[in-house]
């Protein structure tokens, strides 16, 4: 039995080494940087996902603003905090300039040619969301609706400048 082990051990070691080498090569290939086109597509996907989450978060507050739902200060606080978080990521998800790639996006070229104003508008949204959360903490219906309107206006200001219809 020991003789058989001594004969098979080198072969098994070589097979194990070959298998590990192949597995390592596959892992490296899978983790290699994707093509610029794939990176652009992923960037657009992330941006759109962020804005979908943002719309989800502001939806209940928007319904309150339109009179379609009662004003709920606790819900306003929760959703305002979510809009703060998502708005703080806007400039980060637009770091990759995707203009030269064939992607399905509504982002105008101006996002990258006027980054200073784009960043200002993203910050305006963030600040409006901070004010909305503060209004929610106070619980005053008119203050909440006023602050919610300012969040909506901040969204619109950016869409008017930087988003295709």
3-state secondary structure of 100: coil
Q: Which residues pair with 163 in a beta bridge?
A: 107
Instruction: Collect all residues with Cβ–Cβ distance below 8 Å to 108 and sequence separation of at least 6.
Output: 161, 162, 163, 164
pTM: 0.79
Residue 10, exposed/middle/buried by CB under 10 A (0-12, 13-18, 19+)?
A: exposed
Closest alpha carbon to 74 in 133, 130, 131, 147: 133
Q: Which residues pair with 107 in a beta bridge?
A: 163
One pLDDT digit (tens) per residue for the chain, 165 residues: 545 445 445 555 555 444 545 555 455 445 656 899 999 999 999 999 999 999 999 999 999 999 999 999 999 999 999 999 999 999 999 999 999 999 999 999 999 999 999 999 999 999 999 999 999 999 999 999 999 999 999 999 999 999 998
Q: What are the backbone dihedrals phi and psi of residue 25, each rounded to the nearest 5 degrees, phi first?
A: -65, -40
Closest alpha carbon to 87 in 135, 128, 42: 128
């Amino acid at each position: 039995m020991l003789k058989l082990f001594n004969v098979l051990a080198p072969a098994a070691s070589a097979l194990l080494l070959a298998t590990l080498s192949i597995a390592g090569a596959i892992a490296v290939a899978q983790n290699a940087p994707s093509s610029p086109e794939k990176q652009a597509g992923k960037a657009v996907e992330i941006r759109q996902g962020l804005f979908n989450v943002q719309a989800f978060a502001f939806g209940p507050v928007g319904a309150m603003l339109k009179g379609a739902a009662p004003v709920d200060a606790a819900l306003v606080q929760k959703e305002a905090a979510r809009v703060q978080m998502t708005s703080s990521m806007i400039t980060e998800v637009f770091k990759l300039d995707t203009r030269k790639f064939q992607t399905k996006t509504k982002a105008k070229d101006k996002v990258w040619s006027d980054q200073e104003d784009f960043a200002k508008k993203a910050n305006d949204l963030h600040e409006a969301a901070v004010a909305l959360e503060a209004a929610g903490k106070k619980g005053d219906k008119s203050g909440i609706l006023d602050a919610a309107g300012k969040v909506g206006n901040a969204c619109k200001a950016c869409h008017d400048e930087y988003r295709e219809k």
